[in-house]
């Protein structure tokens, strides 16, 4: 793909800040920078100042816009593998905007979302899974998800996919020879040999697919819903976990009307907590919307925290909610242990068999650590040991792996049925292509657009 235009965007987050960075990439980057920038002293041409910070001013016609530091990085040793210029100016809306406009007036166009990274991919600096790792690094909410993304960017997932794919490449080559030159003296490839390879490939793919269950949680968070009658202490719990008062705590029943979403970090697991209006029948319209939303999020949750008030007997409403849990991943949290207890574990288990029960006092912040431990156990079965292994965290990668596995399985069946090699060859090719989708070796323009749309502008 031939890229002949120059793009520009603000690389820093919008808003008031110490500095802002306007970044250009493309064949005209240097030319444009030379037109709008004048150094205070020294050579006027930035091409003589590669990889140096040059102090000066950006001008619009003859008027100074801002005092800046400019760096020119010559291709191909840049992020995009194109000529790149970065202008460090004062942060804030106006300064960066004026510089951006000056750059555009001089021949660049505003970059699309993720276009710098897309160019890095198209110019062969990184593969597609590495480009996706960059989004994950930016979005990482815990150390664990950051570490995994970092390893992906370094290329550990790509290397593993390449290794698997190389085996299929070899097999495809042998198959081609066998098909094209059936009478050659070359040792013919045997069905047995190919089957052995396929089984190995399938084992590797299976391992990667299996890592997704935890990988997805570490990347996207565990969607957790806190349910329970009004006043059991849901907001207080959320506050205790967040350790700062973002949710409203109130004694008036049903005031947590809208759904509040917050991320918290529990033992390296990002929990995306949704606090709800509580499940109950109500005539109040505003509350009805809240309750309806609650039920929906309950259904789509990865984990339900069902709260009870230990100072009150189980109500029929409590019993109904407990019975609703079924085989959902759930923790029964009995709150207000600072008050005399009116609920036993046996009573609770009558309605929700086998679910772990944890007793806490949100008010006195007691037992929260037990809750955290239980969540950790549930998600990771005790440890974060998988962290060192290669972990698939992206649903797109997982789906491609599943399709590759399927194709290998078809190839294996074809070989077992002694079907002609050229038919089995198609399955080999399908598997090989699917793996290529992960790294971007085989990829369509549409898919690229979808992936890079997830980025922010300026990345």
For 49, other C-beta atoms within 10 Å of its C-beta total 16
End-to-end Cα, the chain, rounded Å: 20
Whole-number Å distance between alpha carbons of 21 and 11: 5
Q: Does 224 engage in binding with ligand GDP (CB under 6 A)?
A: no
Question: Taking the CA atoms of the chain, what radius of gyration do you get in angstroms?
Answer: 29
CA angle 246–251–257, rounded 5-degree value? 55
Binding mask 304-343 for ligand GDP (x = CB under 6 A): -------------------------------xx-xx----
Helix, strand, coil tally for the chain in percent (to 5): 45, 20, 35
Is 5 annotated for ligand binding? no
Judged by beta carbon, residue 125 or residue 336, the one nearer ligand GDP is 336
Choose the binding region for ligand GDP from 36-44, 46-54, 93-101, 225-233 (rule: CB under 6 A).
225-233
Is 254 annotated for ligand binding? yes
Length of the chain: 459
**Of residues 108, 217, 232, 404, which one binds ligand GDP by CB under 6 A?**
232
Choose the binding region for ligand GDP from 10-18, 73-81, 118-126, 249-257 (rule: CB under 6 A).
249-257
In the three-class reduction of DSSP (H, G, I as helix; E, B as strand; rest coil), residue 410 is classed as helix
Contact 261, 184 (CB under 8 A): no
Judged by beta carbon, residue 91 or residue 228, the one nearer ligand GDP is 228
Contact 70, 54 (CB under 8 A): yes
Q: Does 259 engage in binding with ligand GDP (CB under 6 A)?
A: no
Q: Does 130 engage in binding with ligand GDP (CB under 6 A)?
A: no
Contact 246, 270 (CB under 8 A): no
Contact 348, 332 (CB under 8 A): yes
Is 120 annotated for ligand binding? no
**Of residues 6, 25, 142, 231, which one binds ligand GDP by CB under 6 A?**
231
Choose the binding region for ligand GDP from 23-31, 234-242, 261-269, 282-290 (rule: CB under 6 A).
234-242
**Of residues 363, 378, 419, 456, which one binds ligand GDP by CB under 6 A?**
363
Q: Does 160 engage in binding with ligand GDP (CB under 6 A)?
A: no
Residue ranges binding ligand GDP (CB under 6 A): 228, 230-236, 249-251, 256, 335-336, 338-339, 361-363
């Amino acid at each position: 793909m031939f890229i002949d235009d120059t793009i520009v965007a603000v690389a820093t987050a919008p808003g008031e800040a110490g500095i802002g960075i306007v970044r250009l990439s493309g064949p005209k980057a240097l030319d444009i920078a030379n037109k709008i920038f004048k150094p205070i002293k020294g050579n006027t041409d930035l091409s003589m100042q590669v990889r140096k910070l040059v102090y000066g001013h950006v001008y619009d016609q003859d008027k100074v816009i801002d005092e800046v530091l400019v760096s020119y990085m010559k291709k191909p040793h840049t992020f995009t593998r194109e000529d790149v210029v970065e202008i460090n100016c004062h942060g804030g809306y106006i300064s960066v905007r004026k510089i951006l406009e000056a750059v555009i007036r001089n021949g660049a166009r505003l970059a699309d979302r993720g276009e710098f990274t897309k160019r890095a991919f198209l110019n062969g600096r990184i593969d597609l899974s590495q480009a996706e790792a960059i989004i994950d690094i930016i979005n990482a909410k815990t150390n664990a998800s950051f570490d995994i993304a970092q390893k992906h960017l370094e290329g550990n997932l790509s290397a593993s996919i390449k290794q698997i794919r190389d085996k299929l490449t070899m097999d495809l080559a042998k198959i081609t020879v066998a098909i094209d030159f059936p009478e050659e003296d070359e040792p013919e490839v045997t069905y047995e040999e190919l089957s052995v390879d396929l089984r190995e490939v399938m084992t590797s793919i299976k391992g990667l697919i299996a890592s997704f269950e935890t990988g997805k949680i570490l990347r996207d968070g565990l969607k957790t819903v806190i349910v329970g009658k009004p006043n059991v202490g849901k907001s207080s719990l959320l506050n205790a976990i967040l350790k700062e008062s973002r949710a409203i705590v109130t004694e008036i029943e049903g005031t947590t009307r809208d759904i509040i979403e917050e991320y918290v970090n529990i033992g390296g697991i990002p929990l995306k907590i949704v606090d709800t209006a509580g499940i109950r029948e109500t005539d109040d319209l505003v509350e009805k919307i809240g309750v309806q939303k609650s039920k929906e999020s309950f259904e789509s949750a990865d984990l339900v925290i069902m709260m009870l008030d230990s100072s009150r007997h189980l109500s029929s409403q409590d019993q109904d909610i407990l019975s609703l849990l079924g085989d959902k991943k759930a923790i029964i949290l009995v709150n207000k242990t600072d008050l005399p207890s009116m609920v036993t574990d046996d009573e609770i288990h009558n309605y929700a068999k086998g679910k772990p029960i944890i007793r806490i006092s949100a008010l006195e912040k007691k037992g929260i650590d037990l809750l955290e431990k239980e969540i950790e156990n549930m998600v990771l079965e005790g440890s974060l040991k998988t962290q060192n292994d290669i972990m698939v965290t992206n649903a797109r990668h997982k789906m491609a792996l599943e399709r590759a596995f399927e194709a290998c399985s078809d190839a294996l069946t074809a070989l077992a049925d002694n079907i002609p090699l050229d038919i089995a060859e198609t399955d080999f090719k399908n598997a090989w292509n699917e793996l290529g989708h992960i790294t971007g070796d085989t990829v369509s323009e549409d898919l690229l657009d979808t992936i890079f749309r997830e980025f922010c502008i300026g990345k």
